[in-house]
Every structure is written in structure tokens, then in C-alpha cells.
Structure 1
Amino acid sequence: MSRHLEVGERVVKAEALHGGITAEMLRLTVGVQNGDTRDLVLRSFVDSRHVRHAADWLSREADALTLLTGTEVPAPELLAVDSTAAHCEFPSLLMTHLAGRTILDDEGLETRVPLLARQLVTIHAVRPTQPLREYVALTTADTVVVPKCAEAAVWAAAIDVIRKPAPPYQGRFLHRDFQPGNLLFDESPPQPTGARITGVVDWATASWGPADLDVAHCSTNLALLHGPTWGLRFAEVYEEAGGALAAAAGARLYWQVRDALACSEEVQQVARPWREAGRAELTTRVVEERLNAYVSALMNAGG
């Protein structure tokens, strides 16, 4: 930290930011010479299960934040990165703090979903000047965890969908974890059209791949947070916002099902930060039931 502060500045407060799954986030308040303060964010990988991925994730995030500088995407500004813990206790990245808060409530969702869609279209319009790493699939047909409440025949058919080779696609710059938990909103003073997005965070898995994959990931999260109907609607809202998805119905179904099944392996990890953020009703069982209903709806719609 000391290497990246101005003369006379010092950290006067550190506050944990909650909601993350893989990394520890600290909001650092820096005192400046005239008595004012400014806030920074330190992202550190402290869990031994994730440290082995830290160098890759932090390098990806640093590259993404650099790429996004000067674009219309409201991302933090990169200040420093130590992806191998050469100078820090843990692999870490230092960035500016963005105003706003995450909103995971059902209330106001009707107006927020179009904001999500428009923001994702803007992200997919970014054109990297250097080649990006290809997306990584988060599940395989053999690693899917079928919930106890699942309709066995439906899930077997869904698993068969992702046994097939990935459909051809036109590559886009992907956030790869675009979902309500990684968006910051400003609600005050009240906006004429409701909340506005002030930040998109957590770029650790930014990559190159099909726009369908980002849309599918956000759709799955909306389905688990707010009910399957919202997951099914998001692709349509994304297209209404100007986004382009795969033309073939089978290709769309492939990406939608692939992301939904990927969630089957981490339901507990996904549900915990939502409960900590105030959605106490989202127990692991409730989220599993919503996932089952969403997968069933996808297969019925695609079949």
C-alpha cells in the first residue's frame, strides 16, 4: 500500500466488504494532507483453496481493468497488482472504490433487469486490442450434481445437451460472472427511472467467448435469486437492448443449460452470500428447488 499512496497519505480505516465467495475484500479509507479522505479497495485471495488460482485470476482482472479504462463500462481503476504475493501476505489487487451498493431484493426488479441487459450489451461491445484467453467451461456432463428434488429424466436430457461439442460462435469480450451480486447501484438522490448502475466489479474471470454464455450466467442467477421466470426473460430483454445471441435455438439452449448445470456444483457457495446480504429465505434447499424448476423450464422451452 505504501508504495501507491501519495506523500502524506496513510490508511486510517479498513472495513471488510461482504458478499464475495472466492476473495477477501477490504475497503481502505486513506487520509490525505488537507484532512479529506478517499477510499480504495484491496482484493486478496486468502483461502488456500483459491490461492492456487490467484495468479491467473488477478492477472485477468488487471488486464480487464486496464482494457476498460476510458470505456463506457463503469469499472474500478487498477492501481496495483501483486498476483504472486511477492510484496503482500496474500495475492492481492488494489483498485479504486466505486460508489453504490448491490441490490438483491425482488422489489424494483422490473426496472433493474433492463439496466442489467443494457450494461451487458455495452460490455460485449468492448473490442480488446490484445487477444484474450478463451472462456473456461465450469462443468462437464460427468461433474453435474443432480439435486435430490430433481426430475431425473429432465436432468438426464439436460446433461446429454452438454455432452455435445460446443456450438460455433462469434467471440465477444465477456465478464464471465455478470450477475446482480457484481453490480453496484445508486438510488440516491432518487433517479427518474429508478436506480442506476454505478459499477461493474469482479473481473477475475474476464475472457473471450460467446455472448450467450454471459447472458446464460446472468439468467441462471436471476432464476435462483428471483424465480425461474426471470431467468427465462433475461435473454429476451438482452436482445431488446440491442444484444445479439446465437441464431439457432439449439445453440442457445446449449449455453443456457451449460451454465445452469454448472450452478449445480456450487449451490451452497452461491446461496450463502445471498443470505448474508439479507435474503434469509434463500436456503440451499430453496435455491436447489429453483434450479430444478429453471432447468425443467429450459428443457421444456427448448424441447
Structure 2
Amino acid sequence: MSSTSNNSALPLSEATMQWLLQQAGTGSAIEQVNALKGGVSSAVYGIQGMKQGKTFEYVLRQFTDREWLAHEPDLAEHEAEALIRAYEANVPSPQWIAGDFAGQSCEFPSVLMTRLEGEAILQPQELQGWIEGLAGSLAGLHQADTPPMRWNYFTYNNITALQIPDWTSSPEAWGKIIKRVQGDTPIYTPRFIHRDYHPTNVLWKNGKVSGIVDWVNSCYGPAGIDTGHCRVNLVQLHGVEIADAFLEAYLNSPGSAEEVADCYWDMLSLTDFLCGPPEVYQGWIDLGFTGLSTQIIKERIDEYAESLAAKL
């Protein structure tokens, strides 16, 4: 086996390259390695090579965030199992190939998977079709027949310790939201969820969703966390009206979970964003989405909080 590169600044270590060649198999050659944009919590590379006269394309994800690994040392294993479940359930997702779960060969815990065709679209030319595609793909995921995982949903913040953010111009709305999420949890059916479903993690080709990526947070839990998380992202990108249109499209899609209509899940998902003051997500900037500012994000999130509080 041999390794060559068209990239003058190869970002991977020689040990990682050798591991990649082992996974590709005898007679393979790595021809190009490119760092991929869009992710902020790990290093992601596009791998292109040849084997027996045929081209192959992989994606290698390396978990380089030591702080994240300290809290969740099984990140690579977690994503591998999620990928396997998603692929076996016919959810449009990458196919898992191999993993270096402890980082013994690749320096960092790593997951190797197939590369899907398509691109993330944040500013669609045809907005309604984009909304319906996002919603329908998520509903399809939620009806996937998969066994329970050993990773189960948990909130990112301590719900009992939530406080009204000091940056808000709508403290009354936030107070109502916090009080509600600190109350009883609605009844729901646990199911396979993505846990980080938003436009940056959805790929499109020829006007249709071609795949869902970034499965490391996937778990067994309430479907409303997926819709709620996506809605907060849509609020920041495009405003409350688009987020509301997404929810309506989801509820009208085959396989949707009816319990997501309870605004509790939107409120709970919104409190996930209280880890710090609002800011423009770097992944959006990397993918070419411009025009947002911290002030715009604050105003849109406050407007969303007010719309949710009005439902109580």
C-alpha cells in the first residue's frame, strides 16, 4: 500500500495515514486529504483515494476537543453506533467503516465513514421546499425502527438552576419559559433522535435531502428535542416565521411524532442555548452565511421566547 497527496499541507499524521490505508485495504492509495468546513467541535477531513482502479471517498472525523473528551470519552464509539443504527434503518446517513475509538493509532479518537454527495444549504432559493425537506427528513428519522441505545437524552443545562439571562429585553417571557421547563415533563415515546438536527447537518442534492450528518449526539429520547433544536437554529438564521413553518411542515409529514406540538419541547430546547450569551455560530460563517450579528440573534431569540411564552 502507498500514500500520495495532492495537498501540499497534509493535515494528518503519518500514523493516521497508515491507519486509513489499512481500512481502505490492500492495493489502495490515498490521493487527497482536505479539511472540511462547517464543524466547530472536531476536525473533519475529506479523504479521496484509489483501489483497484476505482475511486473511493471517505470522511474522517477526529475528536480533538480535550475538554469534550474529558466529559464524554466515548465520543467516537458513540458516533459509530449511531451511524450503524441510522444506516441499517435506511435513514439517509453516512455508512460507518471503521473507528479508532481510543485514538491509539490516529492520535485522537476517530471515526471513518463514507462521504455523502450533496451540500449544506442555509440560504435556499426555494424556501418552502427547503422547509418541507428539512421537516420530512426529520419525521422519517423519527419513525425509524431501531432498538434502544445505551446513550439516552439528557439536558445540557441544570434545569433547576436556570436563571433569566441578563442580556434579554424580554425577562417576563423568559421567566415563564423557565418556570414551565422546571415543571412536569409531558408524556412522550422514546425514539431514535439525532439530538443536533439543524440545517448545517443536512445535505442537499438536486433540490432534495441527500443525507443527515454529524451523529455524535444521537441518542434515545423525545422527538421534540430534534424539532425544538432545529427551530432555535431556524429562528437565528431566518426568524420566527420560518421556524413556525418548519414545525407545521413536520407535523404534516408522514411519521411525525404528535407530541412535539407541545410547546414544552421548544421551551426546553431554547434553554439549551443559555450556556452563554447569544453569538453567531461559526459553522454558519464557514458555510458562507453572512449578515447576522449578535444583536440580530438576541432580538430573534427574544421574539421567539415571547411567542412561546404566549402559548402558555
TM-score if structure 1 supplies the norm length?
A: 0.89
| Alignment match, 1:49 | 67
Instruction: Say whether residues 1:84 and 2:96 are aligned partners.
Output: no
Query: Which residue pairs with 1:17 in the alignment?
Result: 36
CA distance, structure 1, for counterparts of residue 163 and residue 141 of structure 2: 29
The CA deviation at 1:145 is 6.8
Structure 2 residue aligned with 1:271:
281
Aligned-pair CA distance for 1:131: 4.1
TM-aligned CA deviation for residue 256 of structure 1? 0.6
Out of 247, 253, 267, the residue aligned to residue 257 of structure 1 is 267
Aligned 8 A contact 1:54 1:84 in 2: no
2:259 is aligned to: 246
Question: 1:50 Cα shift?
Answer: 2.1
Q: Which residue of 1 aligns with 2:296?
A: 286
Indicate the SS of the match to 1:246.
helix
2:221 match = 209
**One-letter amino acid matched to 1:125:** Q
Where does residue 153 of structure 1 map in the other structure? 172
CA distance in 2, matches of 1:72, 1:95: 16
CA distance in structure 1 between the aligned counterparts of 2:106 and 2:38, rounded to whole angstroms? 23
Per the TM alignment, residue 285 of structure 1 is displaced from its structure 2 partner at its CA by: 2.5
Counterpart of 1:244 in structure 2: which amino acid?
A
The answer for the alignment partner of 2:13 in structure 1 is none
Question: How far is the alpha carbon of 1:267 from its aligned partner?
Answer: 6.0
Q: Separation in 2 of the partners of 1:291 and 1:213?
A: 17
Aligned equivalents of 2:136 and 2:291: distance in 1?
A: 29
Question: Separation in 1 of the partners of 2:34 and 2:164?
Answer: 36
Letter in 2 for 1:152: P
Pick closer, same or farther for the CA change 1:84–1:24 going to 2, 3 Å.
same
Structure 1 residues 262-271 or 279-288, which shifts more?
262-271
Shift of 1:254: 1.4
Q: Aligned-pair distance for 1:299?
A: 1.0
2-structure distance, mates of 1:155, 1:167: 20
* 8 Å contact kept, 1:144–1:261: no
Q: Distance in 2 between matches of 1:25 and 1:269?
A: 23
Letter in 2 for 1:40: Y
Unaligned 5+ runs, structure 2? 1-19
How far did residue 78 of structure 1 move? 0.4
Is the 1:45–1:54 Cα contact (8 Å) retained in structure 2? no
Contact 2:149–2:219 (CA under 8 A) maintained in structure 1: no
CA contact (8 A) 2:148 2:191 kept: no
- Structure-1 separation of matches of 2:294 and 2:98: 37
Task: After TM superposition, list the pairs within 5 Å mapping 1:25-104 onto structure 2.
Answer: 25-34=44-53, 36-53=54-71, 55-104=73-122
Under a length normalisation based on structure 2, what TM-score does the superposition of the two structures give? 0.87
* Cα pair 1:271 1:284 within 8 Å, conserved: no
* CA RMSD, 1 decimal: 2.0
Give the Cα–Cα distance (whole angstroms) in 1 for the partners of residues 164 and 180 of structure 2: 15
Q: Which amino acid aligns with 1:293?
A: E
Q: Deviating runs (4+, > 4 A) in structure 1?
A: 266-270
**2:201 pairs with 1:182:** yes
Percent of residue pairs bearing the same amino acid type: 29
Shift, 1:268, TM fit: 5.5
Q: Paired residues, what number?
A: 291
